[in-house]
Amino acid sequence: MGTVEEAASITSHDSEVSISELRRKQKEELENLTLVTQPFKTLKFFILGVLQYSKHSIAYILAKGGWFLLLHLIIGVAGILILTIEGPHEKHVEEIVKYFDYGLWWVILGVASSIGLGSGLHTFVLYLGPHIGFFTIKAVQCGRVDLKSATYDTIQLKRGPSWLEKDCSEFGPAVFTSRVPLSSILPMVQIEAILWGIGTALGELPPYFISRAARLSGGRSEAMEELDASSRETNGFIPTYLNRVKRWFLSHAQHLNFLTILLLASVPNPLFDLAGIMCGQFGIPFWEFFFATLVGKAIIKTHIQTIFIIAVCNNQLLDWIENELIWILSFVPGFSSVLPELISKLNAIKAKYLKAPSHAATNVKAKWDFSVSSIWNTIVWLMIMNFFVKIMTSTAQRYLKQQQDEELTALTNKVPALACSN
């Protein structure tokens, strides 16, 4: 009898050792699965992961949403017929398509900015911010805000806005002689800013749904586990500070409600993904989370960012800096004599900055624009490539993790069977 118990104990111990060893190997294999270290294997798992997701999605739609699929099929066929058949409706259809492309473009940019737990493409810096800045500078140069040929006359994927390269004389005489008010510029860029904000709110939904699904299944999401692990790490001042904030989030998660989510979404911060993860994990209702996120990101935060850029590019901040600098220097001994010359130089720089480009400098400007645009496009494409590399790596690692979990579950289930047989 004792020999049987000892054999069972040895078998159980060996199985536990093999399970812990398997977990260690799986963790190491998962960490090494990147496009840099194992490009072909990563690409293979990425394709398998996409195929698996597509298969599950199609099966779900066929099982649950037959009418939904049929409705979309009818709409798609009707859309193709409208676009291909000639007639008097073509002009209106083209206009509708332009508005649709415009809305979809800015919403997608917003989604790309917020999706991916902080690894998203920072499209505010790349697109929306420069668009608002360029429009404001052009409006200040020309003294009017009716520069767009239509609402959709903004930067898009394959083209820039028509007003950017036009001379101010093409728009007519200046409406505002001294300063273009913020209240006049804001409505001209407000719609694209709100659309971008709606996209950022939509991009926060995947962490919420993943975390909520893990909670409903009785487990914890991988994001919550990573959050717990990272909050215990200390590597430098900034990571330590961020981990301290993460620990505060975890300890105060029970206080998450509409107002706290609204506050977190309204302030530009890189840690809002944590709020989405914890709202899903701790059972915050979907509409409470989404409506607070939508109002905070699409209304409050985007207006804060938009107004800030308009204020900077509308010469208001330059005027304030100039006045404050003059006031401070007037108290410095010896500067009172050189202050008038300094003021005139500042005014000359400001006038040069806001001066409309002349036709004589077209060749120089073209060369300069070519070099600047080349550098800018290179930066944009590098960031886009980095974004897609992260998506591919994450998808491949998620697929591998599923395979590893199945292997680990099969081995764990063998342990009781081996113990009983012995």
Instruction: Mark whether 184 and 307 lie in a shared domain.
Output: yes
In this predicted structure, what is the pLDDT of residue 144?
Answer: 87
In this predicted structure, what is the pLDDT of residue 262?
Answer: 85
Residue where a domain stops, chosen among 294, 314, 334: 314
In this predicted structure, what is the pLDDT of residue 11?
Answer: 55
Rounded to whole angstroms, how far apart are CA atoms 60 and 7? 48
Q: Which residues contact 124 (CB under 8 A, 6 or more apart)?
A: 113, 196, 305
In this predicted structure, what is the pLDDT of residue 189?
Answer: 92
Rounded to whole angstroms, how far apart are CA atoms 354 and 357? 9
For all residues of the chain together, what is the average pLDDT? 73
Specify if 22 maps to a domain.
Answer: no
Instruction: Mark whether 60 and 171 lie in a shared domain.
Output: no
In this predicted structure, what is the pLDDT of residue 358?
Answer: 45
Instruction: Mark whether 120 and 75 lie in a shared domain.
Output: no
* Residue 285 structural domain: 89-314
Specify if 55 maps to a domain.
Answer: yes
Q: Which residues contact 291 (CB under 8 A, 6 or more apart)?
A: 258
* Structure tokens belonging to residue 398: 């998620």
Instruction: Mark whether 130 and 186 lie in a shared domain.
Output: yes
Phi/psi zone of residue 118: left (φ > 0), alpha (ψ -120 to 50 degrees), beta?
left
Instruction: Mark whether 64 and 134 lie in a shared domain.
Output: no
Instruction: Mark whether 61 and 98 lie in a shared domain.
Output: no
Instruction: Mark whether 248 and 380 lie in a shared domain.
Output: no
Instruction: Mark whether 152 and 68 lie in a shared domain.
Output: no
Q: How many domains does the chain have?
A: 3
In this predicted structure, what is the pLDDT of residue 205?
Answer: 83
Specify if 30 maps to a domain.
Answer: no
Specify if 32 maps to a domain.
Answer: no
Specify if 321 maps to a domain.
Answer: no
Specify if 169 maps to a domain.
Answer: yes
Other CB atoms closer than 10 Å to residue 387's CB: what's the count? 18
Specify if 16 maps to a domain.
Answer: no
Instruction: Mark whether 69 and 96 lie in a shared domain.
Output: no
Specify if 38 maps to a domain.
Answer: no
Rounded to whole angstroms, how far apart are CA atoms 192 and 196? 6
Residue where a domain stops, chosen among 57, 85, 113: 85
pTM over 0.75: no
Q: Is the dihedral of CA 210, 216, 222, 226 positive or negative?
A: positive
Instruction: Mark whether 81 and 114 lie in a shared domain.
Output: no
Instruction: Mark whether 261 and 408 lie in a shared domain.
Output: no
Rounded to whole angstroms, how far apart are CA atoms 108 and 117? 16
Nearest to 250 by CA among 285, 270, 269, 223: 223
Instruction: Mark whether 263 and 144 lie in a shared domain.
Output: yes
In this predicted structure, what is the pLDDT of residue 382?
Answer: 72
Residues in the chain with pLDDT values less than 50:
1, 117, 231, 356-370
In this predicted structure, what is the pLDDT of residue 14?
Answer: 58
